């Protein structure tokens, strides 16, 4: 029996850094969406766990206990032959490794007939793993343990762009000038009203963006170029970077912008996307 699971890219539509705990972890307030582009896992019964990684982004991805997919099997106390089809860039601010770990949990629980771990157990794998189990729009607070489902699935045309540079999350935190920034408002817009939703999002922030641009100025170039494309309603960095996203008024405008990016920057990773929808399992 083969069980498949999709590991979607995670976008931080907002990312407010609101404090730092005594243990060094940072407190966050973030609006998170999973998309319809991502990695794919296949799991099969096996006497011992073995992971193979294939696909366009497979190079350099660990296949041992350094990978959250292997750690997920160990935490569940099961074994499997796992194939990871890697399409997302690593260390890119879109939760690729965490989403892989979450997908492995879902697939392995189904393969072995196990209940899914609780949120604390998921958090022990990584701060972004719990949110990668949520298919709809969510507000994530604390270090990732406080998740509020917003019962909304806005379906906006979007582009993801990574200029193929890596950004170290600890280095971005170290470069930040302020870590005690304001929370998001507690009142959310009507997510089905595009104009109201984008006005609300535009008033929010990614508090890591400025520091990431200092470390990798090309991120600023990506954001400037996305902002200048016709029909772009919002361009912002996701997570600690270097991936940026843009939300468009129409799919046609998004597709024209994507064609332009491919022509001008064939070396960049640029993909069209929208919410995860039915692909999530």
CATH number of residue 101's parent domain: 3.30.230.10
Same domain for 140 and 45: yes
Ramachandran class of 279: left when φ > 0, alpha when ψ lies in -120 to 50, beta otherwise = alpha
The total of other beta-carbon atoms located within 10 Å of residue 187's CB is 6
Claim to verify: residue 135 and residue 6 sit in the same structural domain:
yes
Q: Do 119 and 192 sit in the same domain of this protein? A: no
Give me the number of domains the chain comprises: 2
Q: Are strands 80-85 and 50-54 parallel, antiparallel or unpaired?
A: parallel
Cα–Cα distance, 95 to 13 (Å, whole number): 13
Cα dihedral 217/219/223/225 (nearest 10) = 70
Half-sphere CA count of 131, side-chain side, radius 13 A: 33
Compute the distance between CA of residue 217 and CA of residue 270 in angstroms, rounded to an integer.
Answer: 18
- Is residue 121 located within the same domain as residue 189? no
Q: Does residue 128 have an active-site annotation?
A: yes
8-53 pLDDT, tens digit per residue, is 999 999 999 999 998 888 999 999 999 999 999 999 999 999 999 9
Quote the domain boundaries for residue 114: 2-149
Q: Return the pLDDT at 278.
A: 67
Same domain, 46 and 128: yes
Q: What is the pLDDT of residue 281?
A: 65
Statement to judge: residues 197 and 142 lie in one domain: no
Same domain, 131 and 220: no
Which of 149, 166, 195 terminates a domain? The answer is: 149
Q: Of the residues 97, 115, 149, which one is the last residue of a structural domain?
A: 149
Q: Which of 36, 39, 100, 128 is catalytic?
A: 128
Name every residue whose Cβ is closer than 8 Å to that of residue 185 and which is 6 or more positions away in sequence: 200
Residue of 10, 29, 39, 100 with catalytic role: 10
Domain co-membership, 125 together with 190: no
Query: Is residue 126 located within the same domain as residue 213?
Result: no
CATH code where residue 226 lies = 3.30.70.890
| Domain match, 166 and 128 both | no
Q: Which residues of the chain have pLDDT under 70?
A: 278, 281
Amino acid 18: pLDDT: 97
Are residues 180 and 143 both part of a single domain? no
Domain finish residue from 92, 120, 149: 149
Count of CB atoms within 10 A of residue 113's CB? 6
178 and 216 in a single domain? The answer is yes
Is 10 labeled as catalytic in the residue annotation?
Answer: yes
């Amino acid at each position: 029996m083969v069980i498949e699971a999709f590991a979607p890219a995670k976008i931080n539509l907002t990312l407010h850094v609101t404090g730092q705990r005594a243990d060094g972890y940072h407190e966050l307030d973030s609006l998170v969406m999973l998309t319809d582009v991502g990695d794919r896992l296949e799991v099969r019964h096996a006497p011992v766990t073995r992971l193979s990684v294939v696909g366009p982004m497979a190079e350099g991805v660990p296949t041992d206990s350094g990978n959250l997919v292997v750690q997920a099997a160990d935490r569940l106390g099961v074994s499997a032959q796992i194939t990871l089809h890697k399409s997302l860039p690593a260390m890119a601010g879109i939760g690729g490794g965490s989403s892989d770990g979450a997908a492995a949990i879902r697939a392995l629980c189904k393969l072995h007939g196990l209940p899914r771990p609780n949120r604390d157990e998921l958090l022990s794998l990584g701060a972004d793993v719990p949110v990668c189990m949520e298919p709809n729009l969510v507000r994530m607070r604390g270090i990732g343990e406080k998740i509020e489902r917003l019962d909304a699935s806005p379906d906006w045309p979007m582009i993801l762009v990574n200029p193929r540079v890596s950004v170290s999350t600890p280095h971005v935190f170290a470069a930040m000038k302020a870590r005690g920034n304001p929370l998001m408002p507690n009142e959310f817009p009507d997510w089905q009203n595009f104009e109201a939703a984008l006005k609300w999002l535009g008033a929010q922030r990614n508090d890591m963006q400025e520091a990431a641009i200092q470390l990798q100025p090309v991120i600023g170039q990506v954001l400037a170029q996305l902002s200048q494309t016709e029909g772009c309603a919002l361009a912002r960095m996701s997570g600690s970077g270097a991936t940026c996203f843009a939300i468009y008024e129409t799919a046609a405008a998004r597709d024209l912008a994507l064609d332009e990016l491919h022509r001008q920057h064939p070396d960049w990773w640029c993909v069209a996307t929208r919410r995860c929808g039915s692909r999530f399992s």
